[in-house]
Amino acid sequence: MNKIERIQQWLQDNNYDIAYLNDPISVNYFTGYQTDPIERVLGLFVFPNADPFLFVPQLEVEASKKAGWNKEVYGYLDHEDPFKIISKHIMERLDLAPKNWAIEKFSLPVSRMESILVHFPDSQFVGDVSKYMEKTKLIKTPEEIALLQAAGKEADYAFSLGFQAIKEGKTEQEVVAEIEYGLMKKGVMHTSFDTIVQGGANAANPHGGPEKTPLKRDELILFDLGTVHQGYMSDASRTVAFGKPSAKSLEIYKVCLEAQLTAQAAVKPGITAAEIDKIARDIIKKAGYGEYFIHRTGHGIGTSDHEFPSIMEGNDLVLQPGMCFSIEPGIYIPGVAGVRIEDCVAVTETSSLSFTSTSKELTYID
Amino acid sequence: MNKIERIQQWLQDNNYDIAYLNDPISVNYFTGYQTDPIERVLGLFVFPNADPFLFVPQLEVEASKKAGWNKEVYGYLDHEDPFKIISKHIMERLDLAPKNWAIEKFSLPVSRMESILVHFPDSQFVGDVSKYMEKTKLIKTPEEIALLQAAGKEADYAFSLGFQAIKEGKTEQEVVAEIEYGLMKKGVMHTSFDTIVQGGANAANPHGGPEKTPLKRDELILFDLGTVHQGYMSDASRTVAFGKPSAKSLEIYKVCLEAQLTAQAAVKPGITAAEIDKIARDIIKKAGYGEYFIHRTGHGIGTSDHEFPSIMEGNDLVLQPGMCFSIEPGIYIPGVAGVRIEDCVAVTETSSLSFTSTSKELTYID
């Protein structure tokens, strides 16, 4: 069964009349067509016993066909009512108005659900395609893992660019510029999120961005970055020493590294996501820094940077070969320093395979 | 009245018990805190007669306070149920469970609406904050227009970088790399969308991206780019001649330029959005290229790249001073060439003010 046949089977099994996929990542998964029409309407409509159709803004009709989608595609112009056109094409495929809908509840805005209700007032939104996609995407195929490895190699290259760019007085933002320029010159046009370079105490704000702050010697510098390779994402973090950081900074690095290495070494089929989180967290707690590790140990990765499984307390999911996720403990002491060390890995038959290979031993840059 | 007091007034006027804002752009508008926690929960909760609160992932609590939000902010850890915590803080402020909710229907995913229903099963989603925000943001203040002008200046600089980078054999992607590197070196870290550089027939796919295709002489090259300046966006397009393009290419440039200049010159208070669209469209139709102008003439711009007003057929909105939008007719002939010329403007008391000033007369690059 191909991907479309599998979701059709799921619709049949659950007595759903129709599935409406609106998330560009899901649409790409089924059609091979990558787009993000922002506020314009995008949809893949799948039926248990009729041909699916793709619906895009008119100016994307040709591109979607060129990308390899060989079923019907319909477009709409900006001044037209997209849901009126969608309804018409739905009724070309069904004898009765669809009642039991499966929608992507994690991404479909309420307004679009209401647009459906205008045309099909008896609709019930009983199925959740988001959950179907989560499950479908949880175990990666060998081909997908190869793409994640390729993305990981790009992240390794990005680290090398970043480490080379470190120089006293250069700002965090200038280092980001060197990384992204170097990537683009190799044809890597998209990062999976805004590249993070943070020196010293700035790094204690784990979701902050790079500032116009000049880098200072004798501090730690945190890098968190990722690229997009044929739709698959990398995400990795390294923290390096510029000169001779304080004893405190070196101590939290050591603790964080032990947590990262131990948790990553524990990954194998049969262990749970929560157990991996606990291994990393216990090491940091025991060293006295538990209160400074304020996020989960990891998140899934694939065609999005944050997907399932979550490596966190309470997630008793048993790891299986093909699951892919980050292991990224961090210690953030406000006003002092922040450390995060992160690889993304795939679970193998016996342990795990890392997508990035930049050394995790503390790198000293002079 | 400040921004919070104005939305509280709106809640009172409409008998809404609570507003839940989830769009990062809206949250930024009210709190000054810029973030995008992706799949994590973000919310600003506003009440007609009680203090609002901000809800963010725990690792952003400090940053949101630092950004200047001086009311309550609550955080949650990854393994906690965010809506349980939200419910608790709502009930600290209300005597009865909220029934009449105002939500952002254009951005709130269905799953979040269902999470509300778990805790407050009698909720009715009667109010649409998206529409409130649309209306609120439709007329820009002089301060906002100054920021849009500053963003426009960055776009002009980006064009100069791009035009300088044109060289035979250089790829479209390499030109993008030069533009974005030059911007980052000036501290402009975010583009408002993926920079577009398309040469020759590639430009006939108006939403396609830059390719690894080398630029060829004697073709048109289309640039569409924008930056983010303190949360405000620029968006502008120019098409330039590299060498001596074909007579056909030059002809469609001339038609498109006339459409753009004429439509832009017609902007003034009192004319409708649809009339502006018609002015541009009629010129292109009359020249015989109507079928190749397959999108609206423009979109609003501000804290997002695509907002209201839409400059298109059917939109009888009367333009008023302070409205800001693009004027961007385009002609795309598959296999031949694509031309788009775009400025964003603010409606003034008598006409309009353009945010970009790069020449629109055809620029020849040799």
Point out the least confidently predicted range of A223-227, A239-243, B304-308.
Answer: B304-308
Q: Are strands B100-103 and B124-128 parallel, antiparallel or unpaired?
A: parallel
Please tell me which of the candidates A103, A176, A306 has its beta carbon nearest to residue B184.
A176
Measured in angstroms, the CA of B105 and the nearest CA of chain A are apart by: 5
Q: Is A316 on the interface with B (CB under 8 A)?
A: no
Residues of chain B contacting residue A175, judged by C-beta atoms under 8 Å apart? none
Per-residue confidence (pLDDT) for residue B348, from 0 to 100: 98
Tell me the C-alpha distance between A177 and A161, whole Å.
10
Per-residue confidence (pLDDT) for residue B296, from 0 to 100: 95
- Label residue B59 by pLDDT band (50, 70, 90): confident
Bond prior to A82 in cis (omega within 30° of 0): no
Chain A 99-128, residues with CB within 8 Å of chain B CB atoms: 103, 105-111, 113-114, 125, 128
Pull the structure tokens for residue B202: 């590639």
For residue A267, give the nearest of A280, A257, A253 by alpha carbon. Answer: A280
Q: In the predicted model, what is the mean pLDDT of residues B218-235? A: 97
* Contact indicator for B271, B315 with CB cutoff of 8 Å: no
* Contact indicator for A323, A346 with CB cutoff of 8 Å: yes
DSSP B116-163: HHHH-TT-EEEEEHHHHHHHHHHSPPHHHHHHHHHHHHHHHHHHHHHH
* Contact indicator for B11, B19 with CB cutoff of 8 Å: yes
Q: Is the pLDDT of residue A63 over 90?
A: no
Tell me the C-alpha distance between A200 and A186, whole Å.
30
Residues of chain B contacting residue A114, judged by C-beta atoms under 8 Å apart? 105
Does residue A186 come out as left (phi exceeding 0), alpha (psi in the -120 to 50 range) or beta?
alpha
Please tell me which of the candidates B62, B125, B315 has its beta carbon nearest to residue A205.
B62
Q: Is A313 on the interface with B (CB under 8 A)?
A: yes
- The per-residue pLDDT for range B70-97, each reduced to its tens digit, is 999 999 998 899 999 999 999 999 999 9
Percent of chain B with pLDDT over 90: 91
Per-residue confidence (pLDDT) for residue A79, from 0 to 100: 86
CA angle A337, A341, A346 (to 5 degrees): 160
Per-residue confidence (pLDDT) for residue B185, from 0 to 100: 95
Do B189 and A173 make contact, defined as CB atoms within 8 angstroms? yes
Do B79 and A314 make contact, defined as CB atoms within 8 angstroms? yes
Q: Is the pLDDT of residue B208 over 80?
A: no
Residue of chain B nearest A125, judged by CA positions = B110
Count of C-beta atoms within a 10 Å radius of residue B279: 20
Residues 6+ apart with CB under 8 A from A130: A23, A104, A105, A106, A107, B111
- The per-residue pLDDT for range A270-291, each reduced to its tens digit, is 999 999 999 999 999 999 999 9
Residues of chain A contacting residue B298, judged by C-beta atoms under 8 Å apart? none
Tell me the C-alpha distance between B259 and B298, whole Å.
12
Tell me the C-alpha distance between A336 and B289, whole Å.
63
| Residue of A56 and B38 predicted with greater confidence | A56
- The per-residue pLDDT for range A317-350, each reduced to its tens digit, is 999 999 999 999 999 999 999 999 999 999 999 9
DSSP H helical segments within chain B, as ranges?
3-14, 24-31, 61-66, 82-91, 110-119, 129-138, 142-165, 172-185, 247-266, 273-286
CA angle B312, B315, B316 (to 5 degrees): 130
Pull the structure tokens for residue B255: 């038609």
Percent of chain B with pLDDT over 70: 100
Residue of chain B nearest A305, judged by CA positions = B38
CATH class of B3-136: alpha beta
Tell me the C-alpha distance between B132 and B121, whole Å.
25
CA angle B41, B47, B49 (to 5 degrees): 155
* Contact indicator for A85, A55 with CB cutoff of 8 Å: yes
Q: Is the pLDDT of residue A92 over 80?
A: yes
- The per-residue pLDDT for range B25-54, each reduced to its tens digit, is 999 999 999 898 888 999 999 999 999 999
CATH superfamily of A139-365: Creatinase/methionine aminopeptidase superfamily (3.90.230.10)
Per-residue confidence (pLDDT) for residue B38, from 0 to 100: 81
Chain B 157-196, residues with CB within 8 Å of chain A CB atoms: 173-174, 176-177, 180-181, 184-185, 187, 189-190, 194
* Contact indicator for B225, B315 with CB cutoff of 8 Å: no
Per-residue confidence (pLDDT) for residue A1, from 0 to 100: 84
For residue A198, give the nearest of A237, A230, A160, A252 by alpha carbon. Answer: A237
For residue B155, give the nearest of B222, B227, B210, B221 by alpha carbon. Answer: B227
Do A189 and B173 make contact, defined as CB atoms within 8 angstroms? yes
- The per-residue pLDDT for range A147-168, each reduced to its tens digit, is 999 999 999 999 999 999 999 9
Residues of chain B contacting residue A62, judged by C-beta atoms under 8 Å apart? 205, 334
* Contact indicator for A320, A269 with CB cutoff of 8 Å: yes
Q: Is the pLDDT of residue B317 over 80?
A: yes
Tell me the C-alpha distance between A91 and A95, whole Å.
7
Percent of chain A with pLDDT over 70: 100
Chain A 211-240, residues with CB within 8 Å of chain B CB atoms: 212
Torsion sign over Cα A120, A126, A132, A134: positive
Q: Is the pLDDT of residue B305 over 80?
A: yes
Chain B 283-312, residues with CB within 8 Å of chain A CB atoms: 294-296, 305-306, 310, 312
Strands (E), A139-251: 196-199, 219-225, 228-229, 232-233, 236-242
Residues of chain A contacting residue B306, judged by C-beta atoms under 8 Å apart? 38-39
Percent of chain A with pLDDT over 90: 92
Per-residue confidence (pLDDT) for residue B78, from 0 to 100: 84
Q: Is the pLDDT of residue A94 over 90?
A: yes
Domain boundary assignment for chain B: 3-136, 139-365
Quote the pTM value: 0.91
- Label residue B164 by pLDDT band (50, 70, 90): very high
Count of C-beta atoms within a 10 Å radius of residue B210: 23
A&B contacts, CB < 8 Å: 136
Per-residue confidence (pLDDT) for residue A166, from 0 to 100: 98
Count of C-beta atoms within a 10 Å radius of residue A128: 18
B188 exposure class (CB count in 10 Å sphere: 0-12, 13-18, 19+): buried
Helix (H) or strand (E) holding B56: strand B50-57
Q: Is the pLDDT of residue B249 over 80?
A: yes
Per-residue confidence (pLDDT) for residue A37, from 0 to 100: 85
Pull the structure tokens for residue A316: 């008793």
Does residue B280 come out as left (phi exceeding 0), alpha (psi in the -120 to 50 range) or beta?
alpha
Indicate the DSSP class of residue B200: G
Residues of chain A contacting residue B79, judged by C-beta atoms under 8 Å apart? 296, 312-315
- Label residue A205 by pLDDT band (50, 70, 90): confident
Tell me the C-alpha distance between B16 and A253, whole Å.
50
Count of C-beta atoms within a 10 Å radius of residue B357: 14
Tell me the C-alpha distance between A90 and A92, whole Å.
5
Please tell me which of the candidates A62, A110, A209 has its beta carbon nearest to residue B125.
A110
Tell me the C-alpha distance between A282 and A263, whole Å.
10
Residue of chain A nearest B294, judged by CA positions = A59
Per-residue confidence (pLDDT) for residue B109, from 0 to 100: 97
B5 exposure class (CB count in 10 Å sphere: 0-12, 13-18, 19+): exposed
Q: In the predicted model, what is the mean pLDDT of residues B181-199? A: 96
Average pLDDT of chain B to the nearest whole number? 96
Does residue B68 come out as left (phi exceeding 0), alpha (psi in the -120 to 50 range) or beta?
left
- The per-residue pLDDT for range B103-154, each reduced to its tens digit, is 999 999 999 999 999 999 999 999 999 999 999 999 999 999 999 999 999 9
Whose tokens are 């990981």? That residue is: A152
Per-residue confidence (pLDDT) for residue B206, from 0 to 100: 76
Q: In the predicted model, what is the mean pLDDT of residues B176-197? A: 96
For residue B332, give the nearest of B280, B295, B364, B282 by alpha carbon. Answer: B295
Q: In the predicted model, what is the mean pLDDT of residues A207-211? A: 81
> How far apart are the two ends of chain B, measured CA to CA in Å?
56
Right CATH for A3-137 from 3.40.350.10, 3.90.79.10, 1.10.1020.10, 3.30.465.10: 3.40.350.10
